[in-house]
A and B are shown apart, each in its own frame.
Chain A
Amino acid sequence: MDERSALALLYRRAGFGATSSELSAAAALGYSESVSKLINGLEQMDPPADAIAPPEMLQPPFYKPKSLSTPAAIMQFNATLSEERIALTNWWLERMVASVNPLREKLAFFLHCHFPTAISKVRFPLYMYRQNQIFRTQGSGDFATLTEAVSTDPAMLIWLDAGTDRLPDPNENFARELMERFTMGIGNYTELDVRAAAMAFTGWHLNTQTGQFAIATKLHTNVPQTFLGQKVSTGQEVINAVTRSQACARFVVASVWSRFAYPIETTDPLVAELASIYSKDRNIKNLLKMVFMHPSFLSTKTSTGLIKQPAEYVVGALRALGISAARLPAIKPPIMSAMSGLGQVLFDPPSVGGWPQNEYWLSTSAALARWRFAHQLSLVGDISPVVDSPAGSRVDAAAEFLSVESWSQSTSAALKRASTNPHTLVTLALVSPEYVSN
């Protein structure tokens, strides 16, 4: 892979794609310096993104017991939450579009997929915002610390029914998903471990008046439980045990590799190799650097291994076609309806399993949604690099414009036939397999 292709791949995976001029700037730095720049960006300010203020949101306690006694008051309250939700989703999309440290937003998106939590149940946009900020501010550090922060944050407490895990028959929801989806994966614990962990988490709840995590000692059992072969009596001890396990190291490495490079099983030798280094500090920033610097990352397997998720697709296309964050709210129909048609609305994954990958995004229904979005975007976006090229070189111009390495024979043939109509050409380029893949 030549350096420019490598950099284009890096920017697609560690960000939302690079424009031609961004690629030239990266080429001046070289590959490993570009990786360092992206990685260092994880802990730096992101002025254009940080300048976008989050929406005003209701604070806990969200309502007084008697304030919602009439249907009209309830409807008004719900309308407020609904507006907040739309504003919050737009806020994150705008951040992604504006970001100059795109890995920071990309990592927040990855963690949203790793710890999927949906506003449909959490209900209050403020809590989704707070979780999102944890991803952004603590996501690149120690995974054990991050897991505890996410687990004791209101969004997760509500999402997995914390506060309802109580004696004598504790609810197993959080205990199970913590191990299955967030830290270890199936096969590394038993049903008895699930029940033991649920015991250790008894009493965990959200104080709905303050919006703070609390442990109700009356509801917590002090009887030590045997969990993964050790004695635990608190939820924190369970989180410590799982996040420091070898199984968790493999699980986290496989999760990161699968979303940034290509899908991989926890049993793959590559996972063992990276996990042995990762488990020394459990640091996500260091793990990401290892991934981007790994020889297997710069491979055909990587460059053909992922389909863009809708958020990556939409944000990448908006950035490529020069739609600024400030212009987003005025775009009609709204970008969020494109996301809905594509099957991915931010802050609203379908279940605690999050969004699947690859084939999942290649349905006929999604193909239509992509086409509609691309058609709309080619009309409102800046496609001057294609328009300004002579008809005979527009196909190549589109490849450079969209940072696509090369077109396949059939895509190239279709684009050539559209070379007298740049809008059609760009629409087709945006829905081509080469651009749809990541």
Chain B
Amino acid sequence: MNDSKSDEGSVVEPSGRVGDPFGGLKSTPREVWSVNRRKFLALAGGFGAAGVLSATLGPRLWEDFFGSAPKEAAVVKPPLPLTSVTSKRPLVLVTLYGGNDGLNTVIPYQSSVYQSNRGQLAIDAAKVLPLGQGYGLHPSMTGFKRLWDARQLAIVQGVGFANPNFSHFESMDIWQSGVPGEPVSSGWLGRWLDATNSSPLRAVSVGPTMPTLLTGEKIQGAAIPPGKLVLPGDSTEQMLFAALSEINSGSPQLFSEAAAACGNLIELSRQMGPTLSRTATSDPLHLAGATSSALAANGGAALAIADGGGGQSAPNVLATQLSIVANLILAGAVPQVYSVDLGGFDTHVNQQPTQAKLLGELDTAVTAFVDALTNTVSGHGVVVVIYTEFGRRVNANSNAGTDHGWANNVFIVGPGVKGGFYGEPPDLNRLQEGNLVFTTDFRSVYATMFDKVLGVDPKPFLQGSFNTLSMV
């Protein structure tokens, strides 16, 4: 994040893997890195970044995305009063793919049931960052702890849905569609695009492809290509490319969608191109310096090995995405809803180093993002929602990992968020088939976002009424 953060020396737990580059094939820490690297390559893809698979380009791309070293230390600033929010509050969805282990994220560290079930996977109580009520944050999450102390971090406990689904894909589909029980192809925010007849630019994701989340029946959100948004060809080619987007009557569905993507790209370029090109050289999150500090703190070589890409450290891909989002929000861009993600949370094996690394990235990126928007006119109303497809089994498996489980925490963060615990914590003494039982329907979170952030009646979007929560 910045100098003060790295001075704390706990961004990431030192892995000590310098002499053990692979930890045997059973261990997964490098998976995290390579997943991140892949994601970054995908982000950096396209011809703007010639030869992205060449490891030597890593640092240059990194500079492109993050600019130069941080100029100022980020501090928690008092939020502006919400009354100064004029029209819209930005909503940012952070999807953690793979099923983050919530029990080792918001940790009931005083519980003997937790300690005995988790065995060697239990986080040392002395290292937990205490939140009160017997819970503490994972040691990697020092930034979140600071936000918690500033009352800007809300934790909804025991979130899930009835009839848990242990498939990554189906469970994530349920989370993203907002409809349990039956497969639905539209996302909960895609239906919002449909119903408000919005421009696809009103809900955007960063990266090559589009999550279900922002896919409506009629309207699909836009995907922001990483890097400078420079269109190919001369003005004639660009004009004719735009003309391809004209939908012919009777055109097959997929043809119409392919045509629409052409038009949406032109519109995206027209409305956000200059801001996105600026993003390639200016990083409101000021994270470039923190990365090298974190590298130094954790042993550059240890990080470099995990990268698998010839010795360059893998950049924080979530920070890269959030940097783009921050620039768009600060520029007062069209989108109101943003989707970003981080993968690699499926920790069946050797969970500890993997999760520590990923939560560290999450912590660094989100904290810097919130700091960058605090006290800004267009950004201080931002609400960040962080979720994953399911929690993990309470009992650790025999490989220092955890299998797919049920209820989990949802984080809601922002300068204007009323911090604290929400929902009911699941009872560790009343598990169902070894899993935490959900206490808050996930659609309560969505209803809250519809009602309090997007300012629409949640009912039509959620097939029913759900209690809203009071953190926003």
Q: Which residues of A contact B (CB under 8 A)?
A: 63, 68-69, 71, 74-75, 77-79, 81-82, 85-86, 118-121, 123, 158, 161, 163-173, 176, 180, 186, 191, 194, 206, 208, 300, 304-307, 332-334, 336-343, 345, 348, 350-353, 358-369, 371-373, 375-376, 408-411, 413-414, 417-418, 421, 424, 427-428, 431-434, 436-437
Contacts and interface: CB of A to CB of B under 8 A. Distances in A.
B5 interface: no
Given A418-B240, A437-B258, A341 B404 contact: no
Contacts of B259: 410, 433
Given A74-B301, A424-B240, A368 B433 contact: no
Contacts of B247: 410
Interface stretch (B82-90, B308-316, B358-366, B453-461): B308-316
28 contacts: A63-B21, A68-B21, A71-B300, A75-B310, A78-B310, A164-B398, A169-B397, A176-B404, A206-B25, A338-B45, A339-B45, A350-B343, A353-B168, A360-B209, A361-B209, A362-B258, A363-B209, A365-B225, A366-B209, A367-B262, A368-B265, A371-B231, A371-B265, A408-B251, A410-B248, A413-B243, A421-B236, A428-B244
Given A82-B308, A337-B46, A424 B236 contact: yes
A353 B52 CA distance: 25
Interface string B201-222: 0000101111000010000101
Interface string B36-57: 0110011011111111110100
Contact of B232 (A118, A371, A414): A371
Contacts of B220: 359, 362-363
6 closest A-B pairs by beta carbon, nearest first, are A340-B45, A341-B46, A363-B223, A71-B301, A341-B45, A343-B208
Nearest to A159: B31
Interface residues of B, number: 98
Contact of A337 (B45, B258, B310, B396): B45
B78 interface: no
B424 interface: no
B210 A163 contact: no
Contact of B261 (A69, A332, A366): A366
Contacts of A334: 50-51, 53
Nearest to A80: B310
A79 B223 contact: no
Contacts of A180: 167, 169
Interface string B241-268: 1011011100111111111111011001
A82 B396 CA distance: 34
Interface in B153-198: 166-170
A360 to B, nearest CB: 6
Contacts of A332: 50-51
B22 interface: yes
A172 B46 CA distance: 37
A166 B49 contact: no
A368 B251 contact: no
A377 B258 CA distance: 20
B401 interface: yes
B97 A437 contact: no
A414 B240 contact: yes
A173 B304 CA distance: 28
A261 to B, nearest CB: 14
Contacts of A428: 237, 240-241, 244
A182 B301 CA distance: 38
Contact of A78 (B41, B167, B309): B309
Given A78-B308, A176-B166, A351-B98, 16 more contacts: A74-B305, A77-B21, A118-B38, A121-B35, A164-B399, A340-B208, A362-B220, A362-B254, A362-B260, A362-B261, A364-B223, A364-B224, A365-B224, A368-B225, A408-B248, A433-B254
Contact of B304 (A71, A206, A365): A71
A338 B215 CA distance: 24
A338 B25 contact: no
Contact of B248 (A341, A376, A409): A409
B166 A304 contact: no
Interface string B96-128: 011000000000000000000000000000000
A184 B223 CA distance: 33
B309 A82 contact: yes
B441 interface: no
A161 to B, nearest CB: 5
A176 B256 CA distance: 37
A90 to B, nearest CB: 10
Residue with the greatest number of chain A CB neighbours at <10 A, chosen from B37, B38, B247, B260: B38
Contacts of A343: 42, 45, 207-209
B349 interface: yes
